[in-house]
Structure 1
Amino acid sequence: MIAELRKSPLFNHMTDEDIRNCLKCSQSKVISYEKDEVIFLQQDKPKKLFILIEGSVVVCSDSISGKRNIITTISKTGEVFGEVFLFLDERGYENYAIAADRAEVLEMPKEFLYHNCSNNCGYHTLLISNMLSILAQKAYHLNQKLQIMSSSTLRQKISKLLLQNVDKGGNVILKMKREELADFLNVARPSLSRELMKMQEDGLVKIERNKIKIIDFDEIQNNL
């Protein structure tokens, strides 16, 4: 498990021994979840920080009509989730998390993240510093989603999403399934599929399963 946790930004710049000490001192535990099993519910009081070891997790909210809106998908080993509400005093979650596939999650008690232990361990100080960096990154990514959701048309939403995630080769690897992407953009899946097909027909993109290659960068940017 230590090899997996080395990939987490929470344990940046730590040795294997540092990580082991963190887990022992915090009394963290690895919990297994089956597909669709709930990890936390809306209004639950945050008591733990969650770190994905294996599998994938979706964080969602439901509209009044019951439509699920995917806020984010956690699929990268070592990725942290549930951290924002952990630091909002006496406030319950405004969303819920479920296992999208069978998942293993490291759960660290919140108390360990608030202050150094009596021994003033260097690895504990580093862990708290890493946590602050994670929160800053979270704020940045939420701002990116806000930019997408403020778009007036679906094509604008898709264009912004593509430009935010494109690599140097002009490719965007989709981490979400089509239905999850539709939920993320808050549109119906058929509408998303039709618009992607139109963008391909217009020569803007080329779609290959979970990869979208941008063909016409200028026109994609003109859609913003």
Structure 2
Amino acid sequence: MNLQETIKSIDFFNSLTAEQIDILCDFSNITSYEKDSILYYESDENNKLMFLIDGLLKVFKVDKFGNEIFLYHIYKNNMISELSSINNTKIHCFSNAEFIEDSKVLSVNYEKFKENFLDKNILTSELIEVLLNKSQQFQCIINRELVFDATAKVAFMLKQDLHMFNKLKRQEVSFMLHIQPETLSRVLKRLTRNNIINIENGDVQIIDENSLVSIFKGIGV
């Protein structure tokens, strides 16, 4: 796809006219990244509004002991950038981002984007909606790390990200959820015994979604 077609493929820009897309192309570009490459480090700053076109991105922080703390994944057709202010043309990075698949990223000069679109009240509501969703995502992370027990963590991931749960090795899931592999195994067996999930050829299938949600619903949410 060329630049115009790529922009059209991203839901965030669905309301733009052909003329507006041409304007956006003047200060946008596409960059390819290899698996395991770093997009940015915590405390970096840039002037780009970035969207994941293809691939998969892992967002994480590192504690004072050098341990990686997984935060969340970003999938294609989603905004990557973490904005703390709509008016500030410098975008600060509050975490690290690493590609776990070969990926492509659309980068938009934020200062020119603001001048040509946001200041004219174009795409403003779309940007606010994305930022609110990111805020909710961080609330979920707080619940996962500080409130949920192991069973609630597993149930929450199964409900919110079943595809990724099945794609990753169980040890990787344990690492992400910060629980022991043995604990994850026990939780999955308990959910299976209670007929909430079924495991076939290693993949989890949700049988009783209401019971699964009830495990974490009301716990810090």
TM class, shorter-chain normalised? 0.7 to 0.9
Could you tell me which residue of structure 1 aligns to residue 144 of structure 2? 148
Q: Structure 1: how far apart are the matches of 2:62 and 2:87?
A: 21
Residue 11 of structure 2 is matched in structure 1 by 9
Contact 1:199–1:205 (CA under 8 A) maintained in structure 2: yes
Q: Cα distance 1:221–1:55, how it changes in 2: closer, same or farther (>3 A)? A: closer
Q: For residues 123 and 174 of structure 1, what CA distance do their matches in structure 2 show?
A: 38
8 Å CA contact 2:59–2:96 kept in 1: the answer is yes
* Counterparts of 1:50 and 1:210, CA distance in 2: 35
Percent of residue pairs bearing the same amino acid type: 21
Question: Matched residues in 1 for 2:133 and 2:23: separation?
Answer: 26
Separation of aligned partners in 1, 2:177 and 2:118: 42
CA-to-partner distance for each residue in 1:50-109, whole Å, 9 max, x for gaps? 111222111111122322222121222x21112325759577422111111111111112
Equivalent residue runs for 1:83-102 within 5 Å: 83-85=82-84, 87=86, 92-102=92-102
The code of the aligned residue for 2:94 comes to E
Checking the alignment, whether the CA contact within 8 Å between 1:59 and 1:73 is kept in structure 2 is yes
Give the counterpart letter for 2:212 in structure 1: I
Change (3 A) 1:9 1:222: closer
> Within 2, Cα distance between the matches of 1:201 and 1:64?
40
Q: CA deviation at 1:40?
A: 0.6
Q: Is the 8 A contact 2:63 2:69 kept in 1?
A: yes
For residue 155 of structure 1, report the CA deviation from its aligned partner: 0.5
**Which residue of 1 is the match for residue 215 of structure 2?**
223
Q: TM (normalized to structure 2)? A: 0.77
Measure the CA separation in 2 of the matches of 1:36 and 1:88: 32
Offset, 1:111: 0.9
| Counterpart check, 1:174 vs 2:164 | yes
Paired positions, count: 211
Residue 30 of structure 2: aligned partner: 30
String of CA shifts for 1:27-54, please: whole Å, max 9, x gaps: 1121111111111111111321111122
Structure 2 unpaired stretches of 5+: 217-221
What residue is the counterpart of 1:168 in the other structure?
A: none
Retained in 1: the 8 A contact 2:82–2:91?
Answer: no
Matching of residues 36-185 of structure 1 within 5 Å:
36-76=36-76, 78-85=77-84, 87=86, 92-114=92-114, 116-117=115-116, 125-164=121-160, 172-174=162-164, 177-178=168-169, 179-185=171-177
Distance change >3 Å, CA 126–CA 81, structure 1 → 2: same
2-structure distance, mates of 1:86, 1:123? 14
Runs of at least 5 residues in structure 1 that lack an aligned partner in the other structure: 166-171
Residues 128, 22 of structure 1: alpha-carbon distance in 2 compared, 3 angstrom cutoff = farther
SS at match of 1:196: helix
Is the partner of 1:53 in helix, strand or coil?
A: strand
CA contact (8 A) 1:22 1:124 kept: no
Q: What amino acid is aligned across from residue 173 of structure 1 in structure 2?
A: H
Equivalent residue letter for 1:22: L
